[in-house]
Chains A and B, each alone.
Chain A
């Protein structure tokens, strides 16, 4: 069973600054990783798949990187609507991480 570990659990960043979120897989998953954003009261929304490909309509300030076991989601200049919970997922086994809550500093 593949376990996805996200860090930190909570990240406090000021608007306009850069946020870096991490996700680690318990074994190599190549680039079979997706990132999702969930705003309060809403369903998760696909941001990134294949570790680095933005989904349709996702702004360029969102970028993903990594392969194997270490992955990163970077939001280059935080907008108010970006403060949310972010989940990574190994989509071949449907394993989700526990999430990183991105809050306003």
Chain B
């Protein structure tokens, strides 16, 4: 069964940092791009960042560029999201997503909640 499981969420003060992890199983991890998508309370999904299978190319939404870094460790079947300089408007559920080669968000994890608050 194809599965992705997020971890690492929590409560952090404005200006703080957090690293999210996503463990994947059930597919050849290095063959697929992976993304992070977030959803603020009561809002629609917002794509945050993506990384291709080899890890050599990354993409970011303008709202997080320069603050967030996506990476992957293919031998561990894990993708990460390092989040720095966090702001209140980064508060959301963060979903890890397995994409198809075309970029379709095919498989979603259950999400991990990040709350930025003093």
Contact = CB atoms under 8 A, between A and B. Distances in A.
B46 A91 contact: no
Interface residues of A, number: 20
How many interface residues does chain B have, given as a range?
Answer: 20 to 34
Contacts of B45: 36, 44, 87, 89, 96
A87 B39 CA distance: 12
B108 A43 contact: yes
Nearest to A48: B104
B106 A92 contact: no
Q: Classify the secondary structure of B's interface with A.
A: strand
Interface in B62-80: none
B47 A46 contact: no
A83 interface: no
A24 B44 CA distance: 16
Interface of B: 35, 37, 44-47, 50, 61, 95, 100, 102-111
